[in-house]
Structure 1
């Protein structure tokens, strides 16, 4: 199991709602899922640039996570997420 940290600074809430409707199926295609997501944060250390939404994603392995991010059939899903605002996804490991 490998995890990814995703954060979005939302500028288009309607696009985020549309993205949420298709995100789970897109993740599941490569064995991924959302482990946790939140709009509330507590800074434990430092002064991070806080997003509006963050999520912890899991995948069976690194290759599955990379396949999800590069899958041409999911290009529209990733574009929808990006249209919701600034997004970053970091693979941990």
Structure 2
């Protein structure tokens, strides 16, 4: 199991709503899922700028995560997320 953290700052809630409708199936195509997502944060150390939403994603392995990120059939799904605001997604490992 490998994890990714997603930070999203939403500027277009309508596009984000469209993304949420298709995001789960896009993740599942590569064995991924959302473990948890929230818009509430508590700073433990430092002075970070929190996003609107953060999500912890899981995948069976690194290849599955990279497959999800680079799947040409999911380009429209990723474009919805990117169009909804800024998003940074980092694979942990």
- SS of equivalent residue, structure 2 residue 16: helix
What TM-score do the two structures reach when normalised by structure 2? Answer: 0.99
Structure 1 unmatched runs, 5+: none
Mapped partners of 1:49, 1:92: distance in 2:
20
1:15 is aligned to 15
- SS of equivalent residue, structure 1 residue 44: coil
Q: Deviation of residue 31 (structure 1)? A: 0.1
What is the CA RMSD across the aligned residues, in angstroms? 0.4
Which contiguous aligned blocks of 4+ residues in structure 1 show a shift greater than 3 angstroms? none
Structure 2 unmatched runs, 5+: none
- The count of aligned residue pairs is 93
